[in-house]
Amino acid sequence: MNSLKQKFLIIKLSSIGDIVHALPFLRTLRANRPNAYIAWIIEESFQDLVKCNPDLDEVIPVRTRYWRKNINIQSWNEIHQIRKLLKKHQFDWTFDLQGLIKTGFIASMTSAPNRAGFHRSNCREKINAWFNNQRSKYISTDSHIVDRCLSQLSILGDFHPQIEFPLPIGEKDEIISKAFMVKNSKLTEKPIAGINPGAGFPTKLWSIERYARLADKLTEELGFSILLTWGPGEEEMVRNIAESMKQKSWIAPATTIAESIGLYKKLSLFVGSDSGPFHICWALGIPTVSAWGPTDPNRNGAYSKNHEAVFHKLNCSFCWKRQCPLGTTECMNKVTVQNMFDATKKIASGHIKMLISP
């Protein structure tokens, strides 16, 4: 088929960090196939991350998480409608950038003649390789996820990678952040450091008490204003930080993902752990400092220079477990307030025009 009329489907359903890591794949594909039709199928709750991306012709939201928890007529009807839509598109290529059984199943639903995926050893669920008839070469398991995603483009030929992480949002998504800054003008009198204590699972969480102590040091010694940000189910965490602090802080309003991007764009620094907000902030070019334990920052961390990953390598580090097998979460407990503060001073001195106390 004429390459000018080719139709591509990117399959990357979740979560925030994984989607951010896939953005250079989309940018590179568009740069090398400027006239192609490119669609992205994504979990409905994360579509804000790509809905305004100029490199996409279509965003196809799905509710796989809902379907798995609700096996009923409505779910089957939705699956049937998605299958009809995917087949109607007559995609020439699918690129499964997630490597799961469910994403492989979605690729098969398209009936695309070319279904690209990872080498079996790079799939998160090995059975995924059965659904694909085009596979990228094996890439080291400790390679960064960005590089792993880009490796699938080698199936199409030699592309020069476009390492860009665009996260555009609509004008209406900027309203909440603008209104919040106007209402809290004292917050904007100094550079704003955002702190987000949340994470996708318990082993990634750092101590609330330590966040509070670090926030005070950032205020007292580096002259930051502190904005505490949060996602679903995390408001109590930020309130506990605010109550434990000696210095004043501000708590962000409830936001959608797109609205949170508008808010994060106001920051001069972000502090947190391996979480969605962390990935959004480094993708936006905001200097970030993060605490790591069960996940590997060299594989899943920031793909940028203005970042400091803080961790203490133990024999059990980077276990990728949602619950600590030893019941200690020692890897995160080893990260001290001073460790994080020292990393912040290093980042601040290189990227923020302000006086830093010795």
Full 3-state SS string of the chain? CCHHHCEEEEECCCCHHHHHHHHHHHHHHHHHCCCCEEEEEEEHHHHHHCCCCCCCCEEEEECHHHHHHCCCHHHHHHHHHHHHHHHHHCCCEEEECCCCHHHHHHHHHHCCCEEEECCHHHCCCHHHHHHCCEECCCCCCCCCHHHHHHHHHHHCCCCCCCCCCCCCCCHHHHHHHHHHHHHCHHHHHCCEEEECCCCCCHHHCCCHHHHHHHHHHHHHHHCCEEEECCCCCCHHHHHHHHHHCCCCCEECCCCCHHHHHHHHCCCCEEEEECCHHHHHHHHCCCCEEEECCCCCHHHHCCCCCCEEEECCCCCCCCCCCCCCCCCCCHHHHCCCHHHHHHHHHHHHHHHCCCCCCC
Which of 141-145, 278-282, 287-291 is least confident? 141-145
pLDDT computed for residue 95 by the predictor: 98
pLDDT per position as a tens digit, 186-200:
999 999 999 999 998
Give the pLDDT confidence score for residue 356 in this predicted structure.
41
Amino acid at residue number 293:
G
Residues 280-306 have a mean pLDDT of 95
Backbone angles phi, psi at 215, to 5 degrees: -60, -40
pLDDT of residue 350: 55
CA–CA separation, 74 and 251 (whole Å): 38
Identify which has the larger pLDDT, 218 or 351: 218
User: Which has the minimum average pLDDT: 40-44, 147-151, 199-203, 354-358?
Assistant: 354-358
Could you give the strand order of the β-sheet that contains 225-228, starting from the edge strand earlier in sequence? 250-251, 225-228, 192-195, 269-273, 288-291, 307-310
Tokens of 200: 């996708």
Is pLDDT above 90 for 323? no
Q: What is the pLDDT of residues 96-113, one digit of tens each?
A: 999 999 999 999 999 999
Segment 202-208 shows an average pLDDT of 95
How much of the chain, in percent, has pLDDT values that exceed 70? 96
High-pLDDT (> 90) share of the chain, % = 86
Question: What is the model's pLDDT at position 329?
Answer: 87
pLDDT of residue 5 exceeding 90: no
Tell me the domains of the chain and their CATH numbers. 3-155 (3.40.50.2000), 172-351 (3.40.50.2000)
How many angstroms separate the CA atoms of 220 and 217, rounded?
5
Residue 302 pLDDT: 96
Does 2 have pLDDT greater than 70?
no
pLDDT of residue 324: 86
Q: Which pLDDT value is given to residue 142?
A: 86
Angle made by CA atoms 32, 33, 38, in degrees to the nearest 5: 125
Q: Give yes or no for a contact between 6 and 93, defined as CB atoms under 8 angstroms apart.
A: yes
Question: Which pLDDT belongs to residue 315?
Answer: 85
Which tops the pLDDT comparison, 180 or 304?
Answer: 180
pTM: 0.94
Residue 141: the pLDDT is: 84
pLDDT tier, 357 (very low <50, low <70, confident <90, very high otherwise) = very low
Q: What is the mean pLDDT of residues 49-59?
A: 98
